[in-house]
């Protein structure tokens, strides 16, 4: 599905698209959140230990990626949310490692320079379009040039 078709979707939909990452959509939450040490659930409280819904006893929650990026394809733009596992795969480091390398900086609004690696990349995305929030959650991504070209040429149809 093309990005121009995303705006017309009325219900949550899974689809594949090709787009280029443009810039961070800086939200009030920043580039990470604190979550469970086993799953990606958000920690209810940073100050005390808890038992996550996955059954994990969490003494100290860890930073997990949640990065919002505007993507485009032609004239169309949309906001994609990149979650922890996708970011770690493309950046080659966990949010916890990146956070710890920031010399004690704990403000999620201070974006590390390494996140720039996510920008200006043309990729194929499998996303869940969420029209209620005017965003799409990235489920999978691929930046292999041949694969991206194949998806773009064989499957993406622009509105006429």
Please write the tens of the pLDDT for every residue from 31-88.
999 999 999 999 998 888 999 999 999 999 999 999 999 999 988 999 999 999 989 9
Q: Please check whether residue 115 lies inside any domain of the structure.
A: yes
pTM: 0.88
| 69-91 CB burial, b ≥16 within 10 A, e <16 | bbbebeebbbbbbbebebbbeeb
Q: Please check whether residue 18 lies inside any domain of the structure.
A: yes
Q: Please check whether residue 43 lies inside any domain of the structure.
A: no
For every residue of 31-42, DSSP letters joined together read SEEEE-SSS-PB
Q: Please check whether residue 55 lies inside any domain of the structure.
A: no
Looking at the structure of the chain, the number of domains it has is 1
Render pLDDT for 98-154 as a digit per residue (tens, 0 to 9).
999 988 788 888 899 899 999 999 999 999 999 999 999 999 999 999 999 999 888
Residues belonging to the chain: 160
Query: Residue 159's pLDDT band (boundaries 50, 70, 90)?
Result: low
Can you give the CATH number for the domain in which 130 is found?
2.40.50.140
pLDDT for 27: 82
Per-residue tokens: 4: 């121009």
Q: Please check whether residue 86 lies inside any domain of the structure.
A: yes
Residue 17: C-alpha distances to residues 83, 117, 148 (Å): 17, 20, 9
Give which of 15, 50, 18 is closest to 35, Cα–Cα.
Answer: 50
Angstrom distance (rounded) from CA 122 to CA 128:
18
Domain enclosing residue 18, as ranges = 3-33+64-154
Residues β-bridged to residue 76: 73
Q: Please check whether residue 82 lies inside any domain of the structure.
A: yes
Render pLDDT for 11-34 as a digit per residue (tens, 0 to 9).
999 999 999 999 999 888 899 999
pLDDT for 160: 47
């Amino acid at each position: 599905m093309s990005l121009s078709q995303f705006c017309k979707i009325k219900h949550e939909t899974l689809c594949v698209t090709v787009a280029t990452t443009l810039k961070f959509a800086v939200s009030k939450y920043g580039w990470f959140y604190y979550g469970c040490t086993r799953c990606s659930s958000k920690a209810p409280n940073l100050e005390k230990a808890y038992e996550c819904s996955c059954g994990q006893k969490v003494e100290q929650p860890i930073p997990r990626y949640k990065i919002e990026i505007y993507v485009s394809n032609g004239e169309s733009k949309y906001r994609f949310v990149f979650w922890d596992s996708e970011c770690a795969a493309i950046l080659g480091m966990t949010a916890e490692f990146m956070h710890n390398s920031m010399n004690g900086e704990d403000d999620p609004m201070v974006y590390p320079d390494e996140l720039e690696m996510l920008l200006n990349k043309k990729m194929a995305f499998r996303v869940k379009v969420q029209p209620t929030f005017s965003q799409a959650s990235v489920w999978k991504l691929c930046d292999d040039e041949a694969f991206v070209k194949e998806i773009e040429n064989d499957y993406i149809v622009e509105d006429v």
